[in-house]
Each structure stands twice: as C-alpha cells, then as structure tokens.
Amino acid sequence: MCGISLIYSLDRTIDFDLSIKQINRELHHRGPDDCGIYLGENFALGHTRLSIIDLSAAGHQPFVNQSEDLVIVYNGEIYNYLELKEELADYSFKSKTDTEVILAAYKKWGSDCVKRFNGMFSFVIFDREYNVFFIARDQFGIKPLYYYHSGDTLIVSSEIKAIFASGIVKPQLARDNVYEYFLDNYVKEPNTIFQGISTIEPGMHATYDIHSNSLIKCRYWDFSFSPDGTRSEEYWAERLEAAFKRSIKLRQMSADVDVGVFLSGGMDSSVITALMKENVDVLKAYTIGFNEKEYDESDSARTIAKNAGIEHTEVVLARDEFIREFDSIIAKMDQPSIDGFNTYFVSKYAAKNVKVSLSGLGGDELFSGYRYFTLIPRILKLKWLLNPFVTEFIPIKKLKLLASVPKTSTDLFELFMSTFTRDELCLLFRDEIAVPQNNEVFHPNILSELAIKNYMIPILLRDADVMGMANSMEVRFPFLDIEMFDIIARIPPSLKLNKGILHKVLAKYCPGKLFQRKKKGFVVPIKLWIKDVILANKVMVISVYRSIDMFNLSYIEKTLDQYLGSENPGFKQSNKAISLYVFAIWYDQLKKRYT
C-alpha cells in the first residue's frame, strides 16, 4: 500500500521537483518506509512506500524496467503475481516485487494486462516508446485514484489533498455535487465534491496521449450477475468454500510482513479469522469494543479468538478518546463522510504490531446480509394493494401511506440509505436544485448491485482506504476476490438471501451460536457521543454554512435542534445532524488550510 502521483504539464512556471516533493510529503502516511521521485521531460512521478512485498531496496519506486522504456508508480497488491510471473518467464526480473510483474505484464499484453490482475491496485505507467501515460484502477475500486485535467496539465494522485498540495490547483466546491453528499453520504464517481477533480472509476483504465493532451478512458471490467439455477446448492457451496479459502490464503500469504485480522465479532470477520489460523501458527487479531452494550460485540470476538487459539488485542473505545481525535480524523478525509470511524480506530491499534490486516467488508453486500434485502421485496409486494379493484377495501389513511411508498427497488433503496430525502434536500438548499431521477433495469440481483455500487464501493471502500492509510495500515478484503466473484455472480439470489449459503459453507468453522445472534454491525456509537459537541459548536456550524452561501440556515438550525432536543434520537435524525456537523468541520478545516 502506497501513495502515488503524476504531474504532467507544458506550463513552464511549474517547478516539477518542488511540486512532486510537496505531494510526497502530503502522502507520507500512505508510505512511511520510503519515498522517491522521477523527473522526466515536462513530467514528474512521485511515490511513498509502505513495504509489504520484497522489503529490499529493489522495491523502490518509481520503478524503471531494465530497458528503461517504462516507469511505474503503483499502489496496492496483485495477489496472483507469482502465477503471472510464471507466464512471463521470458522477462528478466531484477526484483521479487509484484510491481515489476505489472510492468512485465504491460510489456507483453499492453492495456489488456489489467484483465489478468487479481488484487487491489492503482498505478501510472509512463510508456516512453508511445509517449503515453497508462493509468489503471482495480475492478472494485479498492484503491483510489483521482485526477485533475485541464488543457495540457494532468495531475494524478491517490488522494485529492495531494493534488492540492502540488500548489498547481486550488480547491473549489462543486456546488452541484454538494447535494449528493447530503443525499447519499458520497458523490457519484467520476465526480467529486470539488470542481475539476475526477476519479478513474473502478474497473477502468485510461491513456493520456502527450501529443494530443487527450485522456481516453476505457472500461475493462464491470460486475454483472448471471444466476445459474440448474446447479444444486451443494454444487455452489463446494465451489464457494474452495474459492473463499483460496482468497484468504492469497491475501494472507502475499506479504513479507505479518498479516493480522480485524475481528469485530460478527460472522464475516469471525470466519475469516478461523480460516486464517489454518494457514499459520501465530495469528494476531484486533477488536474494538464499547461500553455501550447495544453496540458491543467484543464478547463474541473473545470467544472466537479463544477457540482459534490466536493472539487477541481488545481495546475498549471510550467517548473521550473518540471526541479528542474527532477533528483530526475529519482532517484526513478528502471528502466528508459520517462513516469509517470504526476502521480508523481498529487500524490505529493494529498498526502498532502489523502492517496488513484482513477485513470482512463485502460479505453483507454480496450475500444479502442487510435487513433491506428482505424488507424491500416485501414492500414492493404491497403494490398490488393499489389496484383499483381492491382500494375500496383499504382505509383511506393506509391507502395514502401506500401511495407515498416508492415503487421501484432503486427508489426504496435510496429511501433506506439516504441521509436527507429528496424533499428535505429542497428545504436544506436555498436555491432550487436538480436531483437526477433514478433509472432501474430490474433483475433478481438488483439489491446486491445497488449495495455494491451505491454503498460498498463509494463509502465503505473509500473510507476503509482513507482510515487505514491514515494509520499506515493496508486493509485487504477476501470477499472481494475477482475469481470468487465469478462464482458468487452465478449463485441464485434465493441461496444468498440472509447469507444462507454462506452460513451453510462456513458454519463448521465457527461456533453455531454465532450464526444465531442478531446482527449488530461494526459501528461506533457516534450518535450517543457527539451530541454535546454539536451543542457546544452550534454557533460555529451555522457560521460555516452562512459563509458558503447556498444553504437554508433556518432549516439547518431546526434539524440540529430536533436532534439536540431528543432524548433518544433515531437513526435518520441522528445522521442528518451528524452529516451537517461533519461537513461544517470538514469545510472549515479546508478553508483555513487553503485560504
């Protein structure tokens, strides 16, 4: 796991050496073990290294191949690099790194090389022969990659803040995108909350032609579901178990440093922990617990750790520590978020002993683990009640309620996941806003697709990278193995509902009572902890929103007061107030740093 950057420009006023070094300093937390730069004609490449594979100086980046016609900066891990290396036997390797395997693969297969990679990655290759930069990001977008492109200037980096650190670009909010943060807690890629800053989207590569200053994107992978109902549950269970074991082993053993595991106490991380212990004699697991019992799963984590015979570090996160670090955590965010605090703290304590940890992220999205996987289909079935032939039998109040319920999976998903509803957004913003309507092409796996595209990738993976890297921690995700996904995509949805087939496959590796427990989720009790802080800073929050000059201040104040005045605020009510507070702190920090 590292930090990467590219600056290309024909602007003669740019000091490439200074700007790329400023970016490297900004990305130091992503790679504290080493850093390097490469200066070419009208461009510079930068890299900060967290040494995981081949810890020697041979892994230094930017990495130049032996014929000196390719230079790469790379962030991530290619788990099947040893298998690929066998296919590239005609290439003369000078290191044991997966970095060099990427260069050799690009040399042999060109842009199609990315289709062969099983891992998480973002990289930039300068191809001297064709005078192009080849830029790529992994299939699920686990590794971030942002860019600024204007005229003959291109800046690429692992973090948005690093692009600003170059001194070439100044941050400016994209007003049309701010509303998306308040609707969904993220801005839809390729856009970001900043004007002129975009992403290389998951499963895409891009080529920047130096002669034409053109950036051409190409999608090389997109997930799709093709359920095969002709096979038995036993057939799929057998293949899923083998693929999951292989995925865990690849992510555990592809490292020259110790690899730990985040053990929340839930099913996904518990099974990963049990399977990891089969591969090694010593395994270190890390758990964050809470005094608030409704949020705490540390008892289960303790049981799993004892049964597996592993080294278990358990930390009880208290309110005082959370509040003390809250502002500094917000400062690490490229874009505001009310998620990711759990990953920050577990990474903080794990990083004292290991550089790499496995996480159970992805299990709920791929195996229909969330409550809405059951509730949304039930609600949609009630649509028949609006048939004119049966409305006369329904009380008027219930009829009106049913009529107000969205009638597509996409709209219902948004209703479940959104912070503010679309009607509430019209009250939050002073000027009229255009909110794009959802489009839906229904298929049996529509909810999994929505959960992956609209929650896992843009929020969970984004925040896991930011918060892990804030502590120089590489987080790996066994559920997001590309080869295993090919199997999951063909399993009928009915077998995946409520993680049914996953339970069947993995129950033998964990105590049975684990699968009978009510799902809690690995979340920090922020709604209980932050209320006094919001109250103390309410005047400052209103002042920040007044300075932005696009919000309805009376509605913001009303929303905060409703939260502050409630003894037990609900989930949605809390999220509204917290998202308003987080955005205010984030924007205030941004303004103070860059003005």
SS3 content of the chain, % helix, strand, coil (to 5): 50, 15, 35
Buried b (16+ CB within 10 A) or exposed e, 374-390: eebeebbeeeeeeeeee
Pairing of strands 153-157, 2-9: antiparallel
**CA–CA dist 460, 178 (Å, integer):** 19
Tokens at residue 462, please? 């984004």
Closest Cα partner for 422 from 413, 406, 435, 407?
435
| Helical spans, DSSP H, in 514-570 | 526-529, 531-536, 538-548, 553-564
Rounded distance between C-alpha atoms, residue 509 and residue 280, angstroms: 16
Q: Which of 242, 282, 260, 250 is closest to 506 using CA atoms?
A: 242
> Tokens 């790529």 sit at which residue?
136
Collapse the DSSP code of 268 into the 3-class scheme (helix H, G, I; strand E, B; otherwise coil) and give the result.
helix
DSSP alpha helix (H) spans, 31-148: 81-87, 98-109
Give the span between the Cα atoms of 111 and 102, in whole angstroms: 11
- Partnered with residue 200 across adjacent β-strands are none
Q: Judge whether 519 and 374 are in contact, CB under 8 Å.
A: no
Cβ–Cβ < 8 Å for 34, 190? no
Q: Which amino acid appears at position 207 of this protein? A: T
64 token code pair: 């130049």
Distance of CA 342 to the CA centre of its chain: 13
Nearest to 250 by CA among 79, 484, 476: 79
Quick check: is 426 catalytic?
no
Segment holding 156, helix H or strand E: strand 153-157
**Other CB atoms within 10 Å distance of the CB of residue 484:** 22
Tell me phi and psi for residue 371, to 5 degrees.
Answer: -60, -35
Task: Transcribe 123-142 into DSSP letters.
Answer: EEEEETTTTEEEEEE-TT--
Reading the block at residue 96, the tokens are 């044991």
Cis peptide before 436 (omega within 30 of 0): no
For the chain, state the CA radius of gyration. Answer: 24
State the catalytic residue, choosing from 2, 35, 113, 510: 2
- 199 φ, ψ to 5°? -115, 150
Q: Which two tokens stand for residue 284?
A: 């270190």
What tokens were used for 307?
């049964």
Total residues belonging to the chain = 595
Q: Active-site residue numbers? A: 2
